[in-house]
Structure 1
């Protein structure tokens, strides 16, 4: 079984985001970038399936500028076999990424496609569902457990009412949730080996995909700063503040 894992380059989750002075976007100058945490979980799950003898190859794919190759090498160091970089300077939207992945799926013919459930920068939670719809494949989103058996995959999903278990025929698209696994750390020997693993480069034009933006960004604003709290002298004053100032009770 071949597994395709889509990964994304995002701002490191420990970095405090800065908005550009003209509010046209996020300032990325000298900002540390990293592999999206949910994508790390997807890579880890693919590698575990291979280590269990259930997969023969793990291919990682990412779209973006040349700097994306840094995160692809990270995925290779975590255990993926080869990587594919879709080189583009266009700010990609979820639908464009889904079309690019669909083209790669048609070329590579994987039995399983794994994606993080969302990226921590845009938080759209759209690409996996769009890819499944475009490719006509069954999907299991927010997976907290996976089990492959007899040509199908069982996906455990956490829902409001408890747990839901889906049995999907392969090929299928799965998006990974936080509780699926704990990603490993890349060891130095694996990082060195990753430099020699194959990393191919293609373009949206070569894949026959139009990635022109369909949305227009009007402005980016930082979240409002939290105001300092106040002390009250009595329960009556507290109730008055909650009712007339915070307006959280009637």
Structure 2
């Protein structure tokens, strides 16, 4: 499997970066884009890496936040209708609340209208949706938390976001399983456990993407427990970026060793 980084919070020389994520995955004969960042940077990176958007078989959107689906604005309508897959629950309004300040983190209305053209996946938590042979989308039940920061709008109410709209891409290649994550708001530890249970396996070859762990670095006890738990999950490769946080990724690398850095322009053979 070959994974090329189109968008990340950091970049290699001659590549642009932004707060977002987009990965170009070549598995067998299939070409996949996972997430689109927030602008047209993914297209520029794809071109620099000698890829063509017309050759892509599937485009998956992990969840309904601007930094993962904003790039829809730069795809033509036919391509969206044919190749884009997004959770039906991602078509909504989402918020982030911190220190009493509420910020909308949905993409623009125009992006949402384009998302409506794609294949809307009616995902059910903890039950995989088979898109193609060896390609699955999976949503995982979010653990309850007293520190809620994410919300969604339902009618005229603002509810705690349960992240039913967040989907993980699972690819099986040569008997090995890879998990692609946009942000893992529901906790990557829970995701790994659920993938093992669903597919009846004991190890994961790779976890690639964002873990939404930036804040954990400020709590040493929490960081240590997370690293210990992750080490026990038997994941061979961790290729992390975006919302993982630079400091926390460095911490995990010290503790686990098998951690690599996502960066726009990087190419991984895994």
Q: Does TM, scored on the shorter chain, surpass 0.5?
A: no
TM-score of the superposition, structure 1-length normalised? 0.29
Does 1 or 2 have the higher relative contact order (CA < 8 Å, sep 6+)? 1
Whose strand proportion is higher, 1 or 2? 2
Structure showing greater Rg = 1
